[in-house]
């Protein structure tokens, strides 16, 4: 968490904006959904299908009301997300949710690489935050995870 705070604040005291608060709420809702899904008696394929179906319908209603146009690459993106969710739900049925979550935290490394390629500014606070997140990830992977089937 300290690493995330460093990245967001860049070492300064800030007044959180609405977008900051919304962004920080994402992991909370993400984890609530995964805790619920992990304890459901259904297979991961059904969970991912239902989550994508209802989420897609909700987003489709927002898209229609805002006049957004459909792009064919949206189908590819939907397939990629669906496959990723199935793999995720298969994994959390077998290992601790906290460990699974920690293992996927290297995603910021990909974001860092892409932002540099796109010409974004990479600061010492980004580096320090990334190091702290990585150390936390390495520490949590030491947790013994029982295989659950």
**Mean pLDDT across 60-82:** 84
- Judged against a pLDDT cut of 70, whether residue 16 lies above it is answered with yes
Report the Cα 49 to chain-centroid distance in Å. 18
pLDDT of residue 28: 81
pLDDT of residue 13: 79
Share of the chain above pLDDT 70, in %: 87
Among 3-17, 39-53, 126-140, top mean pLDDT goes to: 39-53
pLDDT of residue 50: 87
Overall pTM surpassing 0.75 (yes/no): no
Residue 122 to residue 113: CA distance in whole angstroms: 10
Residue 46 to residue 89: CA distance in whole angstroms: 10
Share of the chain above pLDDT 90, in %: 0
Among 11-15, 31-35, 139-143, top mean pLDDT goes to: 31-35
The candidate with the shortest Cα–Cα distance to 42, out of 114, 110, 92, is 92
Tokens of 69: 């146009």
Task: Give the helix ranges, DSSP H, for 95-144.
Answer: 97-103, 107-117, 124-140
For residue 17, give the 3-state DSSP assignment. coil
């Amino acid at each position: 968490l300290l690493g995330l705070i460093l990245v967001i604040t860049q070492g300064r005291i800030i007044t959180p904006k609405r977008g900051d608060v919304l962004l920080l709420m994402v992991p909370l809702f993400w984890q609530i959904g995964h805790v619920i899904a992990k304890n459901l008696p259904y297979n991961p394929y059904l969970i991912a299908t239902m989550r994508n179906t209802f989420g897609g319908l909700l987003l489709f209603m927002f898209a229609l009301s805002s006049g957004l146009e459909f792009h064919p690459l949206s189908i590819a993106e939907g397939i990629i997300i669906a496959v990723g969710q199935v793999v995720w739900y298969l994994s959390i049925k077998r290992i601790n949710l906290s460990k699974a979550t920690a293992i996927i935290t290297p995603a910021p490394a990909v974001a860092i690489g892409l932002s540099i390629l796109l010409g974004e500014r990479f600061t010492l606070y980004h580096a320090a935050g990334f190091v702290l997140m990585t150390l936390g990830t390495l520490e949590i992977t030491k947790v013994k995870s029982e295989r659950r089937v």
